[in-house]
């Protein structure tokens, strides 16, 4: 059976991605949460755009967070 090109998911426009990010920011903000980390925001954008899976975004985010935490600890230690 030939695959119909209409079966492929439609690529979101930048405006649609921005709308979804704004909706997610609103939901998080209403709960008192804010995603300010530029790398994590980019992972979210890539996931919304369909460039990476949710699993990949979570794994990359988990790998990033310990480094951020370690960098902050290094900065705090340097102040002592």
Q: What are the residue ranges spanned by the domains of the chain?
A: 36-80
Kindly report the pTM of this predicted structure.
Answer: 0.72
Closest to 45 measured CA to CA, from 8, 65, 66, 16: 16
Closest to 20 measured CA to CA, from 47, 48, 39: 48
45-73 pLDDT, tens digit per residue, is 999 999 999 999 999 999 999 877 676 66
Q: Is the pLDDT of residue 8 over 90?
A: no
Which whole-number Å values give the CA distances from 75 to 10, 38, 62, in the listed order?
A: 45, 19, 21
Mean residue pLDDT across the chain: 86
Given this model, what pLDDT does residue 39 score?
97
């Amino acid at each position: 059976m030939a695959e119909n090109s209409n079966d492929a998911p439609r690529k979101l426009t930048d405006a649609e991605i921005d709308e979804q990010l704004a909706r997610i920011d609103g939901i998080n903000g209403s709960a008192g949460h804010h995603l300010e980390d530029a790398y994590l925001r980019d992972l979210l954008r890539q996931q919304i755009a369909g460039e990476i899976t949710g699993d990949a975004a979570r794994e990359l985010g988990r790998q990033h967070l310990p480094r951020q935490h370690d960098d902050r600890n290094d900065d705090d230690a340097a102040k002592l």
